[in-house]
């Protein structure tokens, strides 16, 4: 696919796949309706066991990131509002608070943190535009 996977990393390979697809979608490089390679195609292409890929697809389907249509293939699903939105927004805020704490211990001021955000956002949109020229 369009991203790499590290079989020696501590995160299981199938989770790296899951994260990879989610990221492609968030970046707009994969859009609702786009077709994913079949489990076996992707396994061959990335030199992975097809069970690993299947496990990733199962997880992605459970999270409604993809839709599997028997006999036709696997497609990126429409983004739908999640059930437990407030709870998940709260989690997001919690992550932000963690960022502030970590920044303190990295002796980064507010300015430095904003700079970092700028960097990340810039890289993010750059790659996004590269994908949809």
Partner DNA sequence: GTGGTCTAGACCACC
What residues line the site for DNA (CB under 7 A)? 7, 10, 12-15, 36, 38-41, 48-52, 54-55, 57-59, 61, 68, 70-74
Which residue(s) pair with 75 in the sheet?
35, 67
SS (H, E, C) the chain: CCCCCCCCCCCCHHHHHHHHHHHHHHHCCCCCCCEECCHHHHHHHHCCCHHHHHHHHHHHHHCCCEEEECCCEEEECCCCCCCCHHHHHHHHHHHHHHHHHHHHHCCCCHHHHHHHHHHHHHHHHHHHHHHCC
133 binds, among its own copies, DNA, none (CB under 5 to 8 A by kind): none
4 binds, among its own copies, DNA, none (CB under 5 to 8 A by kind): none
Q: What track of x and - describes contact with its own copies for positions 46 through 75 (by CB under 8 A)?
A: ----------------x--x-xxx------
**Nearest distance from C-beta of residue 57 to its own copies, angstroms:** 14
**Nearest distance from C-beta of residue 23 to its own copies, angstroms:** 5
98's tokens: 């963690």
- Binding stretches for its own copies (CB under 8 A): 10, 12, 19, 22-23, 25-26, 62, 65, 67-69, 79, 81-85, 87-89, 91-93, 95-107, 116-117, 119-121, 124
């Amino acid at each position: 696919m369009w991203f790499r996977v590290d079989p020696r990393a501590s995160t299981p390979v199938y989770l790296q796949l899951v994260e990879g697809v989610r990221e492609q979608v968030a970046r707009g490089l994969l859009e609702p309706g786009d077709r994913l390679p079949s489990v076996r195609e992707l396994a061959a292409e990335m030199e992975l066991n097809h069970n690993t890929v299947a496990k990733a697809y199962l997880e992605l389907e459970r999270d409604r990131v993809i839709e599997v249509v028997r006999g036709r293939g696997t497609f990126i699903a429409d983004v739908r509002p999640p059930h437990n939105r407030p709870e998940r927004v709260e989690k997001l805020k919690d992550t932000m608070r963690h960022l502030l704490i970590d920044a303190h211990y990295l002796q980064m001021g507010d300015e430095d943190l904003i700079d970092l955000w700028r960097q990340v956002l810039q890289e993010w949109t750059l790659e996004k535009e590269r994908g949809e020229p």
